[in-house]
Amino acid sequence: MNYALVTGASRGIGRSISKRLAKDGFCVLLNYCSNHAAAQETLSEIEAEGGHAELLPFDVSNEASMDEALEKWAAAHPDDYISVLVNNAGIRMDNLMVFMQDEQWHKVIDTSLNGFFYVTRRLVKDMMTHRYGRVVNVTSLSGLKGLPGQTNYSAAKAAIIGATKALAQEVAPRKVTVNAVAPGFIATDMTKDLNEADLKKMIPVGRFGKPEEVASLVSFLASAESSYITGEVISINGGLYT
C-alpha cells in the first residue's frame, strides 16, 4: 500500500485532494487539528467510494504533537513509509498590519510555515532513504503578489514558495520532488466571507475555482509521471495573476 499524508484534510481543498489521492490508489492519512466530525465525514466519503484512508489528528504547529502522532503511525506500519506529503494546513486571520495583533501574526505563521517545516523535515528523511517521494505544498496567490489585509498570510505563503525552491534542490538527487500549487480564489469555507460577485469580475475566466480542480493538479504532481518537475510553483487562478 502506498501512503499519502494530507495536512488540513478535513474540509475544502484538503478534502478534495484527499478524495482524489484515494481514487489514485493511495491510502490517505487525513490530518486535522480539532474538527473530528468534518474529518470523519471525509473518511466516510472516501470509504463510500471504495478508497482507503486513516484519521491522523495532530496540530501541525506543535512539533511534539506531530512527532507523537507520526511515531505511533510508524510503529504500527513498520514496513511502510509515507511517500507523498501534501502540506495543505493553513489558516487566515486577516487584518491591516497596523491593527494586526501578535496572535494573528503568530498563529498564521505557526500553522502554515512552521507546520510545513516540522512535518516535511520528518517525512522527507524516509523519502530520501527509499529514493522516492513527492512533496506538494499548497501556497496561495497571496504568496505570489500579496493581498492587502493579509500581510501575515502572504508572508507565510511566500516563505513556503522560497522553501519549496530550496528544498527541491536538496533532495532531487534522491528522486524526491518538491513543488507548490498556488490557488487563487477557490470556492471553499475559507473564501465564503469574500464578495464573490465583485471578485470574479477581476478573474479572466469569470468565476471562482473548484477544490476539485486544485486536487487534479496535486494528483499529477504526486504521481510518478511528474518526476522531471521539481522546484516549481504552479498557479491555478483562472488567469488572475499571470
CB 7 within 8 A of CB 111: no
**Burial zone of 226 (CB within 10 Å; 0-12 exposed, 13-18 middle, 19+ buried):** middle
Q: Any idea how long the chain is?
A: 242
131 secondary structure, DSSP code: T
* End-to-end Cα separation, the chain, in angstroms: 39
Q: Which of 118, 153, 228, 241 is catalytic?
A: 153
C-alpha cell of residue 116: 510545513
Q: Strand 82-87's sheet: what is its strand order?
A: 52-57, 27-32, 3-6, 82-87, 133-138, 176-183, 233-236
195 secondary structure, DSSP code: -
Annotated active-site residue 132? The verdict is: no
Nearest alpha-carbon partner for 174 in 211, 137, 225, 129: 129
Active site residues: 153
